[in-house]
Chain A
Amino acid sequence: MNIHEFQAKALFERFGIAVPRGVPAKSVTEFASAVQTLGDGPCVVKAQIHAGGRGKGSFIDGYKGGVKLTKSPAEAIEVARHMLGNTLVTVQTGPVGRKVNTIYFTEAVAIKKEYYLAILLDRGSSRPVIIASTEGGVEIEKVAHETPEKITKVFVDPAVGLQSFQTRQVAFGLGFRGDEFKSACKLIEALYRCWWELDCSMVEINPLITTGDGRVLALDAKVSFDDNALFRHPEVVALRDLNEEDPKEVEASKYNLSYIALDGNIACLVNGAGLAMSTMDIIKHYGGNPANFLDVGGSASKDQVAAAFKIILSDKNVKGILVNIFGGIMDCNVIATGIVAAAKETALSMPLVVRLEGNNAAAGKQTLADSGLQLTTATSMADAAEKIVKLVS
């Protein structure tokens, strides 16, 4: 789960991580009082969406930049009016962009130098890793590729947690001295506590900045959480913004279905994540384009299959459906009954190819054959993919 920058910074403050002063506003009427709390000088206006590249992005009406430095409160309010309710397109949003529902006003701070700091899981060692770089404000992937010597990595032993010498390794690695060194150490320790205590999957500060007066601040904040751990953090769940998620994905999650929208025209309904991924792959292999990833899980019910059908049909790009079920334990006839019910209820009129294999598959195939529905059966994944690609082209 992801959250907005203004929410991440509020969490940071709770853990004692220094951030520039800032105030969020969700409507034009809140703008004046929000800006007022920051004083009369320049301030930064930041559109709040769950995607990076905001500063270089542009709005669909041609207005440039989702992050802007303004000279006066009046200008800040004017800029914010352009952004609120507008749709911002960045390299990460895709061409559709994201609607801006919140504006974050922050104090403008003088930047002496920019750094990068993040904590995430290192899969190789199964340990948290702190990644720091003297190259802030640019993509860390680029730094890792071109100048890996500028990256400091410190692995934390979960049995004892972050040790002081490791904090010093990171702070010295970034070249900090004097008051800045002390501020940086405090911030690194607080960031690790935040990552660990809130079950984050990643915390990223890019850029981390020095201001010239000894302070070290998180100028930006990106925080994402481990979905598996949300049950023990109701305060984090409360930060979820459904406007940032595909409504079809939200609907799917209600039925415990794992759905991800893609841009093709062949919808897939599959049991198991690995099989669902490779069903998308095999459609592509035969020259088609998958419209989604959809895993109905290992023990799907008739109702789940029906819900899954409605969700994939709500995607207007869909021209055909491929159902690929390997019923290890799940009863193929239950799936077949669900398919027939859903197809009849939705008056399905597009090509449907079904591949059913495994437990009680013969009965399932019979149910499909007796249904009177116009559908095509397939004997293998390859056969199914070839058939649906032909039918939609």
Chain B
Amino acid sequence: MSILITPETRVLVQGITGEFGGRHAKLSLDYGTQIVAGVTPGKGGQFFEHGSIKVPIFNTVAEAAKATGATVSAIFVPPPFAADAILECVDAGLDLAVAITEGIPIRDMVRVKRAMAGSKTRLVGPNCPGLVCPGSGEDSHGGCRIGIAPGYINKKGHVGVVSRSGTLTYEAVYQLTVKGIGQSTTVGIGGDPVNGTSHLDVIKMFAADPDTWGFILIGEIGGNAEAEAARWIKANCKKPVAGFIAGATAPAGRRMGHAGAIVGGAEDTAAAKIKVFQECGIEVAATPSDMADALIRAAQKLGVKLA
């Protein structure tokens, strides 16, 4: 198994007729993902075509879900309209909304997060690369790819990866795959200060998933989500865990690309987070090149297999 999604998950794409959404819908189809519907208000009844595949387009998420059985949405809607797109998924009762959109106003996300409290829909993102659950075909073909991550670098297996950053996730996945260690699920939770799913939410799922044997927790400066996750791991999780924190050299008060990546106080520096990781028994990767090796060290210490 995996967490949140499986290769059988039926996915709809909001913004499938846009340049960005369309490009990635095609890449997901090429990967073998069940992209079963598109949603673009006003274009209902048309089709999104890719080779011989014709994906029906609907005016609303509710219609798309009802007609196709889609339970997950990949959101590629531009920032001014993204909050509305997320709430439409909640209204339609989807299991999961994955917001890829970068640049959503923080106030919009504050309202969305409050409005989602108590609903059955989980949000991953925004400003995230999405999720990958590798398939069993060549280059992990046949998996579920939701978002913008490269599918081919994955390998089906038993390691989880959770990160705020897209390219750092790819870096970790690639290191694992090259070493012959496959992944159960990789989750990019996004670089914004207000997001739907936290590090802690994801590691709780990894800890509970019998098919995930160990995982890599990638964090960065800003906020205290990584420390919160680390403390939970110490108290509750016996699986091998490796951690990396980006931004050790970032100057205080400057936003490093991600809206959330900013050092505000003493608690959200890289050094403070690394210290908490060490105190919580997480094997710290000294450099980003060391992420897969750190997990291997953690597994060896516990005498656990990763593949």
Contact = CB atoms under 8 A, between A and B. Distances in A.
B104 interface: yes
B265 A141 contact: yes
Contact of A232 (B80, B191, B259): B80
Contacts of A326: 167, 170-171, 174
A279 B171 CA distance: 12
B257 interface: yes
B261 A273 contact: yes
Contact of A274 (B107, B164, B287): B164
B84 to A, nearest CB: 14
A320 B120 CA distance: 52
B289 A226 contact: no
B246 to A, nearest CB: 4
Contacts of A275: 165, 167-168, 171, 246, 288
Interface stretch (B42-50, B59-67, B110-118): B110-118
Given A274-B164, A282-B288, A293 B256 contact: yes
Given A232-B80, A382-B289, A273 B110 contact: no
Interface stretch (B90-98, B208-216, B247-255, B294-302): B247-255
Contacts of B104: 228
Contacts of A228: 79, 103-106, 259
A247 to B, nearest CB: 16
A216 interface: no
A276 B257 contact: yes
Contacts of A329: 24, 27, 148, 150
Interface string A268-279: 001111111111
Contact of B148 (A232, A281, A328): A328
B110 A285 contact: no
A137 to B, nearest CB: 20
Contact of B257 (A262, A290, A295, A358): A295
Contacts of B193: 121, 123
Given A121-B194, A226-B107, A274-B168, A328 B288 contact: no
A159 interface: yes
B16 to A, nearest CB: 17
Interface in B20-34: 24, 27
Interface stretch (B3-11, B218-226, B231-239, B275-283): B218-226
A381 B288 contact: yes
Given A126-B109, A229-B106, A282-B288, A273 B249 contact: no
Interface in A118-168: 121, 123-124, 126-128, 141, 157-159
A380 B148 CA distance: 23
Contact of A381 (B27, B223, B260, B287): B287
A215 interface: no
B167 A272 contact: yes
A211 B115 CA distance: 42
A158 B286 contact: no
A103 B224 CA distance: 39
A357 B174 contact: yes
Nearest to A156: B110
Interface in B159-196: 163-171, 174, 191, 193-194
A128 B168 contact: no
Contact of A281 (B113, B170, B249): B249
A328 B220 contact: no
Contacts of B106: 121, 199, 201, 226, 228-229
A276 B258 CA distance: 11
B261 A277 contact: yes
Contacts of B113: 126
Contacts of B108: 229
Interface of B: 24, 27, 79-80, 103-111, 113-115, 129, 148-150, 153, 163-171, 174, 191, 193-194, 218, 220-225, 244, 246-251, 253-254, 256-261, 265-266, 270, 286-290
17 contacts: A158-B111, A232-B105, A260-B251, A271-B167, A273-B256, A274-B165, A274-B166, A274-B220, A277-B221, A277-B247, A278-B168, A278-B288, A281-B246, A282-B287, A358-B153, A358-B170, A383-B289
